[in-house]
Amino acid sequence: MTTVKEFDTWLTQPEDMTLEFKSARNNFSREKDLPDYCAALANEGGGKLILGVDNSQEVVGTKAFEGTYNRLSNELLSKIRIRVDVEEFIHPKGRVLIFYVPARPSAQAIRSTGNYHYPMRAGESLVEMDQMTLKKILNESDPDISSQIVEGLTLEDLDEEAIENFKKRWAEKANRKDYISYSSVKTLHAVGLLTDKGLNYAALILFGKKEKIDELLPGSEIIFEWRQDVKKTAHDFRKNWRDPFFKICDEIWETINARNIRTPFQEGLFQREVLAFSEKPVREAILNAVAHRDYTIRNQSIFIKASPEAFVIESPGGLPPGITIENILHKRYWRNRCIAETFEKAGLVERSGQGMDDIFEHTIKEGKGLPDLTKSDAYTVCLQIPAQVKDKSFILFIEKIINSRQIVLTFDEIYELEKIRENQPVSQVENRKKFLDMSIIEQVGKTRGAKYILSHTYYAHEGKVGIHTRLSGLLREKNKELIIKHLGKNKGYLHDLQLAFQELKPQDISNLLQELKRERKIRFVGSSKTGYWEITN
């Protein structure tokens, strides 16, 4: 908590890039100014925004956000994707609000939802960040701590069991039995973890003895919690590992698998099952977290929260520069390249990239829907993998396509089919055409307003052909409803209807009007050139 003495010291300091005073006697714009000023401070390296102090740096008090200030931190996190702590401070001269704004992450400019896209300070004013400054920020390099030398780390500080585990995996992946007989020095040199300058952080994280990790990198820790009821605050089981990763990687999976849940379902005469926690996506998620977390954040660990509903893994540091939720499935980045490449040599991952597409593909194929990354922010990556099967029929539908047509569906194609299943738009035209030609999907409506649904075969297998009927007729009925709504407020001149329904061809609009006329819901008034449509009484 801020003291009066500390606060009065701030009042003697001039406003600069890290300190902003605003009088805000009665209010302050929640939607525009607040996210703009917080984003600008973050872009300039972090600082404090103080409401209730005027330009002469006298406390005047503020009524802004009275009774609601404790919601602002969460609102700002939603708007600008960084956590801003808010303190209500009662100064002898009046109420003051203090916003503690952290610095932006490396290679990332903070975007605002206010008047500016990327605000920055120019004197006492806010301005839009110029392209040169924005480009400079985006081109910043995110240091690979895994390749940096650890002063004082010696071979005696490494765990021989962890190194032996790695050599066995490496020999098997490379089909080189002689790797097993390599000395620790030769092994570490060969994989780039030991140079003439010494051992690096990748060696510490992957092979360091527990006591050395405790001493040098305590944040290199994985914490697992299990809750039978996800709504419970208290966990039912907890275990943490602060050990060399190549000594514990199998134990982590075994601990999770011990709490696995099997969902059985019938396929004809055969009984099948889907696991709540499938090994491939769970292992891939853990490897991603270890290889791509930010190890410069020393006081945070990788956190796994599992329940019958979901597998959630949180890793410190936010998404790497240039990686977004939108492009994470296709763009590769190595935050800790030494660790990622060591995983690849050991055969733990197929390639030293993100691997997120493997997680998505496996989860979709199991009928669990899409993994969720939307709770990630600038300081934490949060990946939630559903544990419950949402749609058993979708599993069989995908398998039937693959087996009956003797084809291999790419990840992009499987991803597009899942989005169609969830009634999301198809983004890749080439996939859409292929699916239509193969009768995997059906088109509902015409022209630019067309939508796409899974074929009748899918809904028939699911025993829900009524849903197919409803979806296939939904768009047409929706457009008819919108026409009726328009006519309820306006005379239905044809040119107005064409402006209102620009996604439809004129002939499509005429067909809908004629259909409504046959249903005796509307009628045409006047001549063909100057007449209009209206609702029948």
Here the CATH number for the domain that contains residue 495 is: 1.10.10.10
Q: Among 176-180, 274-278, 455-459, whose mean pLDDT is lowest?
A: 455-459
CA angle 64, 66, 67 (to 5 degrees): 150
Domain membership of residue 436 (yes or no) is: yes
The verdict on 130 and 237 lying in the same domain is: no
- Please report whether residue 176 resides in a domain: no
The stretch 145-153 carries a mean pLDDT of 93
Instruction: Answer with the one of 90, 109, 138 that is the final residue of a domain.
Output: 138
> How much is the average pLDDT of 329-349?
88
Question: Of 40-44, 317-321, 488-492, where does the model show the most confidence?
Answer: 40-44
Do residue 381 and residue 401 come from a single domain?
Answer: no
Who contacts 48 (Cβ-Cβ below 8 Å, separation ≥6)?
10, 18, 19, 20, 41, 98, 99, 100, 101
Is 179 a member of any domain? no
> What's the whole-number mean pLDDT along residues 297-311?
93
Could you give phi then psi for residue 491, rounded to 5 degrees?
-75, 135
**Whole-number Å distance between alpha carbons of 377 and 337:** 22
> CA 323 to CA 121: how far, in whole Å?
26
Distance CA 292, CA 333 (A): 9
| pLDDT above 70 for 66 | yes
Inside any domain, residue 188: no
Q: Are residues 230 and 374 in the same domain?
A: yes
Residue range 211-236, pLDDT digits in tens: 999 999 998 999 999 999 988 889 99
| CA Rg value for the chain | 30
CATH number at residue 331: 3.30.565.60
Please tell me whether residues 106 and 127 are part of one structural domain. yes
Question: Is-contact 181 147, C-beta < 8 A?
Answer: no
The rounded percent of the chain whose pLDDT value lies above 70 is 91
Q: Indicate whether 465 pLDDT > 90.
A: no
CATH code at position 121: 3.30.950.30
CA separation for the pair 172, 347 (Å, rounded): 8
Rounded alpha-carbon distances, angstroms, from residue 342 to 169, 186, 302, 330, 385: 11, 14, 19, 22, 25
CA distance linking residue 469 with residue 192, whole number of Å? 60
Q: What is the mean pLDDT of the chain?
A: 87
Tell me how many domains the chain contains: 4
Q: What is the mean pLDDT of residues 124-140?
A: 86
Same domain? 282 vs 352 = yes
**Digit-coded pLDDT (tens) for 348-404:** 987 655 578 889 989 988 889 899 999 988 789 999 999 998 877 777 777 777 777
CATH code of the domain covering residue 438: 1.10.10
Residue 446's pLDDT band (boundaries 50, 70, 90)? low
Same domain, 267 and 299: yes
Q: Can you tell me the distance from the alpha carbon of 103 to that of 136, in angstroms, rounded to the nearest whole number? A: 16
Residue 193 is encoded by which pair of tokens? 């973890």
pLDDT of 157 above 80: yes
367 with 261, same domain?
yes
pLDDT at 296: 87
Look at phi and psi of residue 416 and say left if phi exceeds 0, alpha if psi is from -120 to 50, else beta. alpha
Structure tokens at 291: 């290889």
Residue 486 and residue 437 in one domain: no
User: How confident is the model over 10-22, as a mean pLDDT?
Assistant: 91
> 51-65, pLDDT tens digit by residue?
999 999 999 999 999
Judged by DSSP in three states, 96 sits in: strand
d(CA 265, CA 393): 10
Question: Residue 443's closest CA among 418, 476, 408, 414?
Answer: 476
Instruction: Quote the domain boundaries for residue 365.
Output: 218-386
Q: What pLDDT was estimated at residue 461?
A: 56
Angle between helices 245-257 and 279-292 (to 10 degrees): 140
Shared domain for 374 and 521, answered yes or no, is: no
Mean pLDDT for 328-340 is 84
- pLDDT for 252 equals 97
Q: How is residue 31 written in tokens? A: 């939607």
| Residue at 151 is within a domain | no
Would 410 be classed as within a structural domain? yes
Last residue of a domain, one of 420, 444, 463: 463
Within a domain: residue 374?
yes
SS (H, E, C) 271-302: EEEEECCCHHHHHHHHHHHHHHCCCCCCCCCE
Instruction: Give pLDDT tens digits for 73-95.
Output: 999 998 998 999 999 999 999 99
Judge if 478 and 496 occupy the same domain: yes
pLDDT in tens, 159-201: 999 999 999 999 999 999 999 999 999 999 999 999 999 999 9
Which positions ≥6 away from 380 have C-beta within 8 Å? 300, 314, 315, 316, 317, 318
Instruction: Assess whether pLDDT exceeds 60 at residue 473.
Output: no
What is the average per-residue pLDDT within 297-314? 94
For residue 177, the SS3 value is helix
Q: Please, are residues 261 and 276 in contact by the beta-carbon 8 Å criterion?
A: yes
Give me the mean pLDDT over the 95-100 stretch: 97
Closest C-alpha to 293, from 313, 322, 321, 315:
315
Above 60 in pLDDT, residue 408? yes
Q: End-to-end CA distance of the chain: give it in Å, rounded.
A: 69
- What pLDDT was estimated at residue 310? 95
Tell whether 453 and 517 lie within a shared domain: no
187 domain-assigned: no
In this structure, the answer to whether residues 83 and 227 fall within a common structural domain is: no
Do the beta carbons of residue 127 and residue 47 sit within 8 Å? Answer: no
Final residue in a domain of this structure, among 386, 411, 437: 386
Residue 208 binned pLDDT confidence (cut-offs 50, 70, 90): very high
Mean pLDDT of 6-20: 91
